[in-house]
Amino acid sequence: MYRTHTCGELRLSDAGKTVTLSGWVQRIRRMGGMTFCDLRDRYGITQLVFDQDQPELCDKINHAGREWVLQATGRVAERTSKNANMSTGDIEIIVSSLVVLNEAITPPFTIEDNTDGGDDLRMKYRYLDLRRDAVRKNLELRHKVTIAVRDYLDKQGFLEIETPVLVNSTPEGARDFVVPSRMNPGQFYALPQSPQTLKQLLMVSGIDRYFQIVKCFRDEDLRADRQPEFTQIDCEMSFVEQEDILNMFEGLSRHIFKTIKGIDLPTLPRMTWHDAMKYYGSDKPDIRFDMKFVELMDILKGYGFSVFDNAEYIGGICAKGAAHYTRKQLDQLTEYVKRPQIGAKGLVYARIEEDGNVKSSVDKFYSQDVLQQMKSAFGAESGDLILILSGENANKTRKQLCELRLEMGNQLGLRDKNKYACLWVVDFPLLEWSEEDERFYAMHHPFTSPKPEDIPLLDTDPGSVRANAYDMVINGVEVGGGSIRIHDSQLQQKMFEILGFTPERAQLNFGFLMNAFKYGAPPHGGLAYGLDRYVSLLAGLDSIRDCIAFPKNNQGRDVMLDAPTELEPAQLDELKINVVKE
């Protein structure tokens, strides 16, 4: 038997017992005639003690080094100097026998919470990185979340069903990862960007309630919250309306927060997409703090300040109690919004002084009277700071103001990671016009149903049609999204037409779905959560990487496996693939 207990288990009440532990050496220190060794496993750390009157044992431990794998047997004893920071800090093991199970070379970084290893090194030796408490805890959390999800959905009658990973390439999404087929030379599978059409087919099959915790693949440029392969909690239900889905999955989030965090989520507020854009400049507003946009076109236009006079949009935020911002801080904020990633031309500010007067950076154009009108539009009070952006393109300016709002939220400490603000964003537009391609794209995906009352507008003003689509947003992160689907093959065909598909093309790409619908498709809808994002939010992480065991880097590489790699010529021949090198 390798062990009787784990390294995190023994307490004072175990004193006197003879136990065997196995684990890795965290550190070894000699003090006086004694040698102490901290032995670590997944569950914790226990102190081993070697007495000098056991020279053979002392010799053995003194030859060992960091990360060696040891098995130690001994008696549990009360420590004279206890360590209150460790769960096993009241005891130690007086070792009577020691087995070296394996030696280890010195790891490239220290296996500690505050490791000396940089990002690249940690990723290359991810298996060592995962020995660190801080990282492993995220995997434990992830495991707990998936258990909570399965538990809730199972109780609600959902069936977990696996769908294939080798599927066909579909237009209209992100770029596909493709896999060549040896048995069908020149032909390729694609890896699923999501099991969207398959889960809809399962509804045609009468499965009624489906879910799957599933890997999805998208060949997109990577950012902190994106990985080329990621995991969805993918769900679909039959005979439902939007309201049914929102209630069911609000329930899921409530269950997750309660089991994982002990938090009772309040009823989730709902915000229309239109309001989200108008008041927060984003379809995923962070509503942990207020600071809503106030539009100022009516108040500030027409006083000779050309920047505002020529603007299509003037809007601002009021940072409560931030009038103490110094000139230097305001200059830094101006620089912040002028960075190319944000792209504002400048920033106008106004402080509300103690006497209630408004002192602004554009005082020479505006009378106190006008500035007071502005102050009341914000409901601002003495001590507040108003920040204003303007621009020729309303949507662009709103996005810039959104960045400024989030930055102010950060600076004023209003984005506490331990506080959660969840909401539904609803009534998304069905379509999005692309200036570049001069065509409409589906805002969610082509299977999303328009709101029934907006269907007539499909012929006259498709851009204004609203969808039965919804996103769940937590702390400014889109954690999930879905829609009620089209279940009528003719409406689906019309949707493809609006998206610029010829009937032949639609048949070729999506014939399987439209044909299936002819055999009696139930009304259905669903959604998918991004598991990685959800877990990283619950873990308070800035990046989804640290809740993924073996993530890829920003170039889409797995630096540990060194993937992707070139193939051997024989393998390429077999696949009938000719690699042309640039």
Query: Given the rule CB under 6 A, which residues bind ligand ASP?
Result: 194, 196, 481-483, 526-528
Non-local (6+) Cβ contacts of 118 within 8 A are 109
Q: Provide long-range contacts, Cβ within 8 A and 24+ apart, for 49-52.
A: 49/74, 49/77, 49/92, 49/93, 49/94, 49/95, 50/95, 50/98, 51/94
* Nearest approach, Cβ of residue 521 and ligand ASP (Å): 16
Angle formed by the axes of helices 133-155 and 242-256, to 10°?
A: 140
* Nearest approach, Cβ of residue 285 and ligand ASP (Å): 19
* Nearest approach, Cβ of residue 67 and ligand ASP (Å): 41
* Nearest approach, Cβ of residue 486 and ligand ASP (Å): 12
* Nearest approach, Cβ of residue 444 and ligand ASP (Å): 6
Contact criterion met (CB below 8 Å) for 260 and 245: no
Whichever of 194 and 400 has its CB closer to ligand ASP, that residue is: 194
Q: Which residue is nearest to ligand ASP (CB)?
A: 194
Whichever of 72 and 153 has its CB closer to ligand ASP, that residue is: 153
Whichever of 170 and 368 has its CB closer to ligand ASP, that residue is: 170
Angle formed by the axes of helices 489-498 and 503-517, to 10°?
A: 160
Non-local (6+) Cβ contacts of 17 within 8 A are 10, 75, 76
Whichever of 95 and 237 has its CB closer to ligand ASP, that residue is: 237
* Nearest approach, Cβ of residue 236 and ligand ASP (Å): 7
Query: Which uninterrupted H or E stretch holds 123?
Result: helix 119-124
Whichever of 450 and 482 has its CB closer to ligand ASP, that residue is: 482
Whichever of 409 and 526 has its CB closer to ligand ASP, that residue is: 526
* Nearest approach, Cβ of residue 248 and ligand ASP (Å): 13
Read off the tokens for 37: 């060794």
Q: Which of 273, 291, 292, 295 is nearest to 397 (CA)?
A: 295
For residue 436, how many C-alpha atoms fall within 13 Å in the half-sphere facing its CB?
1
SS3 72: strand
SS3 104: coil
Whichever of 210 and 308 has its CB closer to ligand ASP, that residue is: 210
Please report, for residues 81, 192, 288, 422, the alpha-carbon distance to residue 284 in angstroms, rounded to integers and kept in the order given. 52, 25, 12, 10
Return d(Cα 323, Cα 381) in angstroms, integer.
10
* Nearest approach, Cβ of residue 526 and ligand ASP (Å): 5
Whichever of 276 and 314 has its CB closer to ligand ASP, that residue is: 276
* Nearest approach, Cβ of residue 428 and ligand ASP (Å): 11
Return d(Cα 280, Cα 290) in angstroms, integer.
9
Whichever of 174 and 330 has its CB closer to ligand ASP, that residue is: 174
